[in-house]
């Protein structure tokens, strides 16, 4: 039989006998790249359910494999990709030689061994995103990752030209995360059938064989995940959603089919470093599922996913219990939580995890009140979340004669917020790598930063002509307090007009009272008397 190793850039072959092993030189993949082992196996019966196929990966050469002093063995589930092709994919997390050995109930897929050489990642590859500093994110190589996400629920199931347009739009946008659904969606402005379906069956009869996946559907999904990866965009994949309501029935599969689908999805996608798992959109609106189903799903994904991708679940009106250990960050819909930074901070303390307000209503003009924010209001919400130490998501719902709304289908962006979110992104890129923390959350939630080195103070809808230079003590046990003599530069950020204005000279601290420090000469900061101003302070060495 024939086995192919497919890496992102190399296609290689090995010939293996039942007991002999030949590995060609050049089986090379980047750290956090996608290694793929392709094998041919049985086509009779139902290969999706009849054949068990997986591989064990271990750092070190084959000669070291199974030695008692060897490194940890990673067991990775493979999957059937149709046409007699079986694949197992792997996301190696460290450079060097790795070895593998397959395990299968099919003899011809069992006991295949080989090596791969994992090389240093290329410049744009920082690995998967992880939680960092409790409330924030960083890529696996330590590079900070500060999500500016958007939502295009089923962009990849639209006509090809529209998909390409969406990718072009994304390339020019500030967005570095995109929420979208694995399954097709049926909802307002989105009642077209997809070109492909995830299962084998008869679409017109909605008669699906949930035990037989349609590999082409998932291959296409993978292509789009790769496209996003090239753009530096994390794919926040929505695994289940309620916008089916029995039309196809993917929202009400039997539990065995749900679990099989999850295993298949993880087997296919866990080697893509930019994948995040969002178990559901509006989980509580899925009438045919119980809360305990999602707990089972979460535990299953956490167990299957050897690569430990970020894992969360998005709510309608009922929050999921984000304190559960398998949830890496809180993905939250709340229509009001980022109306001020004091509110935006509250869930952080509850969950002690990153809080991503993935849905805070959308910029747009549709009749539904969740889709008619002004651009100013959405940008305002992003900034409130930012200084509260949380992250906010974008969506756009401008009415359109062609029924193409960004939020659902992608296409082009029509709103005014993305440019301002690019400005915010530039501010975040220049902020402390540890993330922005609330400084005085019960008194002055407008202060974010890393005390006493960096402050970002957001004045929101206030339009003062002057800001009293004052720095609060950070909360007990958080950050270092300010001190007399510390010197700061001040910049005024017009978050709507996207300007940065430096205030001449330095500000020098002097203790004001038990809670605050001010400038020793009583200087304050002149402001333009317009809304949406922020003040950035940096401490001089």
Query: What is the DSSP secondary structure assignment for residue 86, as one 8-state letter?
Result: E
What are the angstrom distances between the C-alpha of 396 and each of 109, 144, 369, 388, 514?
Answer: 48, 26, 13, 23, 45
CB of 359 to its own copies, least distance (A): 11
Q: CB-wise, 153 or 351, nearer to its own copies?
A: 351
Q: CB-wise, 119 or 346, nearer to its own copies?
A: 346
Which candidate, 110, 14, 118, 106, places its Cα nearest to that of 55?
110
Q: CB-wise, 35 or 294, nearer to its own copies?
A: 294
Q: CB-wise, 229 or 315, nearer to its own copies?
A: 315
Q: CB-wise, 151 or 274, nearer to its own copies?
A: 151
Where in 91-247 does DSSP place strands (E)?
Answer: 96-104, 113-119, 129-132, 136-139, 144-145, 149-151, 177-181, 199-202, 207-213, 234-240
Cβ atoms of 440 and 474 closer than 8 Å: yes
Binding site for its own copies (CB under 8 A): 285, 316-319, 321, 323, 334-337, 339, 342-343, 346-347, 349-350, 367, 369, 441-443, 445, 475-477, 514-515
CB of 381 to its own copies, least distance (A): 12
Q: Which helix (H) or strand (E) holds 218?
A: helix 215-230
Q: Which helix (H) or strand (E) holds 275?
A: strand 275-280
Give backbone dihedrals phi and psi of 168, rounded to 5 degrees, phi first.
Answer: -65, -40
CB of 342 to its own copies, least distance (A): 5
Q: CB-wise, 356 or 428, nearer to its own copies?
A: 356
Cβ atoms of 150 and 393 closer than 8 Å: yes
Name 489's bridge partners: 538
CB of 471 to its own copies, least distance (A): 16
Which candidate, 225, 20, 21, places its Cα nearest to that of 114?
21
Name 86's bridge partners: 39, 80
Query: What is the DSSP secondary structure assignment for residue 122, as one 8-state letter?
Result: P
CB of 349 to its own copies, least distance (A): 5
Cβ atoms of 343 and 385 closer than 8 Å: no
Q: CB-wise, 97 or 346, nearer to its own copies?
A: 346
Q: CB-wise, 360 or 436, nearer to its own copies?
A: 360
CB of 292 to its own copies, least distance (A): 14
Q: CB-wise, 343 or 510, nearer to its own copies?
A: 343
CB of 501 to its own copies, least distance (A): 31
Burial (CB count <10 Å: 0-12, 13-18, 19+), residue 534: buried
Give backbone dihedrals phi and psi of 401, rounded to 5 degrees, phi first.
Answer: -60, -30
CB of 368 to its own copies, least distance (A): 8
Q: CB-wise, 264 or 516, nearer to its own copies?
A: 516
d(CA 305, CA 301): 6
CB of 436 to its own copies, least distance (A): 18
d(CA 514, CA 517): 9
CB of 360 to its own copies, least distance (A): 10
CB of 295 to its own copies, least distance (A): 12
Q: CB-wise, 22 or 515, nearer to its own copies?
A: 515
| 3-state helix vs strand vs coil in the chain, percent to 5 | 20, 30, 45
CB of 513 to its own copies, least distance (A): 9
Q: CB-wise, 184 or 364, nearer to its own copies?
A: 364
Q: How many other CB atoms sit within 10 Å of the CB of residue 72?
A: 7
d(CA 148, CA 431): 14
* Crossing angle (nearest 10°) for helices 375-387 and 417-429: 20
């Amino acid at each position: 039989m024939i086995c192919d190793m497919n890496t992102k850039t190399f296609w290689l072959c090995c010939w293996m006998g039942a007991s002999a092993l030949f590995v060609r030189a050049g089986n090379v993949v980047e750290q956090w790249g996608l290694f793929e082992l392709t094998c041919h196996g049985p086509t009779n019966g139902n290969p999706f359910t009849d054949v068990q196929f997986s591989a064990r990966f271990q750092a070190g050469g084959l000669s070291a494999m199974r030695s008692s002093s060897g490194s940890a063995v990673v067991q990775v589930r493979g999957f059937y990709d149709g046409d007699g092709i079986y694949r197992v994919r792997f996301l190696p997390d460290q450079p060097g030689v790795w070895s593998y050995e397959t395990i299968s109930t099919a003899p011809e897929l069992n006991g295949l061994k080989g090596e791969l050489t994992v090389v240093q990642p290329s410049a744009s590859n920082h690995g998967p995103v992880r939680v960092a500093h409790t409330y924030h994110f960083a890529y696996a190589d330590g590079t900070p990752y500060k999500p500016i996400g958007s939502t295009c629920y089923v962009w990849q199931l639209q006509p090809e030209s529209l998909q390409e347009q969406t990718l072009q739009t994304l390339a020019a946008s500030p967005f570095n995360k995109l929420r979208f659904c694995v399954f097709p969606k049926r909802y307002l402005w989105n009642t077209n059938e997809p070109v492909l379906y995830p299962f084998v069956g008869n679409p017109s009869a909605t008669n699906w064989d949930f035990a037989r996946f349609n590999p082409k559907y998932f291959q296409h999904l993978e292509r789009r995940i790769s496209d996003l990866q090239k753009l530096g965009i994390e794919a926040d994949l929505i695994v289940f959603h309620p916008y089916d309501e029995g039309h196809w029935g993917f929202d009400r599969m039997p539990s065995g089919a749900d679990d099989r689908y999850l295993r298949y999805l993880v087997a296919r996608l866990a080697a893509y470093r930019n994948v995040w798992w969002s178990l559901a959109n509006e989980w509580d609106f899925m009438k045919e599922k119980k809360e305990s189903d999602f707990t089972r799903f979460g535990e299953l994904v956490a167990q299957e996913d050897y690569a430990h991708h970020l894992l969360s679940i998005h709510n309608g009106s009922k929050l999921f219990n984000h304190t559960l250990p398998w949830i890496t960050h809180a993905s939250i819909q709340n229509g009001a939580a980022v109306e001020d930074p004091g509110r935006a901070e509250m869930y952080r303390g509850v969950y002690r995890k990153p809080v991503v307000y993935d849905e805070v209503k959308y910029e747009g003009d549709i009749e539904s009140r969740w889709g008619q924010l002004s651009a100013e209001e959405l940008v305002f919400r992003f900034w409130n979340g930012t200084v509260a130490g949380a992250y906010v998501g974008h969506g756009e719902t401008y009415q359109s004669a062609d029924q193409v709304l960004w939020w659902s289908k992608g296409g082009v962006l029509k709103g005014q917020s993305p440019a301002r979110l690019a400005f915010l992104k530039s501010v975040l890129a220049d902020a402390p790598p540890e993330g922005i923390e609330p400084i005085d959350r019960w008194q002055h939630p407008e202060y974010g930063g890393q005390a006493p080195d960096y402050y970002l103070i957001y004045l929101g809808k206030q339009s003062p002509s002057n800001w009293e230079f004052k720095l609060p003590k950070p909360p007990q046990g958080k950050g270092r307090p300010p001190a007399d003599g510390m010197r700061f530069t001040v910049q005024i950020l017009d978050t709507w007009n996207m300007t940065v204005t430096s205030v001449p000279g330095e500000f020098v601290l002097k203790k004001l009272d038990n809670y605050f420090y001010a400038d020793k000469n009583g200087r304050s900061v002149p402001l333009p008397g317009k809304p949406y101003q922020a003040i950035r302070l940096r401490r001089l060495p």
